[in-house]
């Protein structure tokens, strides 16, 4: 990129309005182009978030090839499956990623002392807020942009996700390079490149979060129906936008 163009980008004020045409322009183009724009515009202050789902693995693969120095972080709630931690170790070896662990600073014992035991079953929104939303907000205060692995067809809240958008909650630019991909495209990429993935996906867990809030689902059911099963909750909150 020419120096003049870089200077111009450095002075742009990122808003919903300035990002919308950029996002529209990326429709129909490969995720690598969205990532390249992100690196050219924000590096080194851009980080990839992962919950170790299949979409995140695709992005980690692309990022490890395009900009291996990029920060890749995960939210450690202290309640991740052991298979998820094993996958993290495998990705470290296979893709050379050095993960940044983001933690709320509150042990489960301290949380139980303050809010009572098994908060996830009584007040899951508060539990997610303490262990995911707030730590994410604090971490993103150190970045100018973040990359996520969400796709439009995962939940109703994600249906209008832009490839590039303004994150009103965290006041940061948010890149969603796989927003318009299907699950099939994701798995094709994983299989073609023989990438590791969570073995729980082969035993009825299409979507995996914290172990107390993730159940297996029957064949053909909504892939996310095992998350907070039986509750009127489909999102942990990190991808919900603050009201304008
Ligand atoms: S997914 Fe469940 S256990 Fe994890 S932070 Fe949210 S409520 Fe707590």
Q: How close is the Cα of 103 to the center of ligand 1, in Å?
A: 13
Q: How far apart are CA 79 and CA 242, in angstroms?
A: 26
**Residue 177: Cβ within 10 Å count:** 28
Q: What DSSP string describes 87-111?
A: HHHHHHHHH---EEEE--S--HHHH
What 3-state class would DSSP assign to 240?
Answer: coil
- As a whole-number percent, the residues of the chain with pLDDT over 90 amount to 84
pTM: 0.93
Torsion angle of alpha carbons 47, 215, 90, 151, nearest 10°?
Answer: -40
Closest Cα to atom 1, ligand 1: which residue?
A: 210
- Residue identified by tokens 């249906």 is 159
Write out pLDDT tens, residues 176-224: 999 999 999 999 999 999 999 999 999 999 999 999 999 999 988 888 8
Closest Cα to atom 6, ligand 1: which residue?
A: 128
236 belongs to the catalytic site: yes
Q: How close is the Cα of 188 to the center of ligand 1, in Å?
A: 30
Q: How close is the Cα of 235 to the center of ligand 1, in Å?
A: 10
Closest Cα to atom 5, ligand 1: which residue?
A: 128
Provide φ and ψ at 4, rounded to 5°: -60, -40
For residue 38, give the DSSP letter.
H
Q: How confident is the model at residue 237 (pLDDT cuts 50, 70, 90)?
A: confident
Q: State yes or no: pLDDT of 4 exceeds 70.
A: no
Write out pLDDT tens, residues 17-34: 999 999 999 999 999 999
**Residue 130: Cβ within 10 Å count:** 19
Is the C-beta atom of 127 inside 6 A of ligand 1? Answer: yes
What superfamily does domain 15-213 belong to in CATH? HUPs (3.40.50.620)
- Residue identified by tokens 């450690």 is 76
The confidence score (pLDDT) of residue 1 equals 52
Q: What is the chain's mean pLDDT, rounded?
A: 94
Picking from 178, 226, 232, the residue whose alpha carbon sits closest to that of residue 206 is 226
């Amino acid at each position: 990129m020419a120096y003049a163009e870089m200077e111009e980008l450095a002075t742009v004020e990122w808003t919903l309005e300035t990002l919308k045409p950029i996002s529209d322009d990326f429709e129909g183009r490969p995720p690598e182009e969205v990532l390249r724009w992100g690196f050219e515009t924000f590096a080194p202050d851009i980080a990839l978030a992962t919950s170790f789902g299949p979409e995140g693995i695709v992005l980690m693969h692309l990022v490890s090839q395009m900009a291996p120095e990029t920060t890749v972080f995960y939210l450690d709630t202290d309640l991740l499956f052991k298979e998820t931690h094993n996958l993290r170790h495998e990705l470290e070896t296979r893709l050379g990623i050095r993960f940044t662990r983001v933690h709320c600073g509150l042990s489960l014992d301290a949380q139980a002392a303050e809010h009572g035991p098994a908060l996830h079953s009584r007040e899951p929104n508060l539990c997610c807020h303490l262990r995911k939303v707030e730590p994410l907000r604090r971490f993103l205060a150190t970045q100018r942009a973040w990359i996520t692995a969400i796709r439009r067809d995962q939940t109703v809240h994600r249906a209008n996700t832009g490839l590039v958008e303004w994150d009103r909650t965290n006041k940061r630019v948010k890149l969603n390079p796989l927003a318009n991909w299907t699950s099939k495209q994701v798995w094709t990429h994983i299989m073609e490149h023989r990438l590791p993935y969570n073995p729980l996906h082969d035993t009825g867990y299409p979507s995996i979060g914290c172990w107390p809030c993730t159940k297996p689902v029957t064949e053909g059911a909504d892939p996310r129906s095992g998350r907070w099963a039986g509750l009127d909750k489909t999102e942990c909150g990190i991808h919900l936008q603050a009201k304008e």
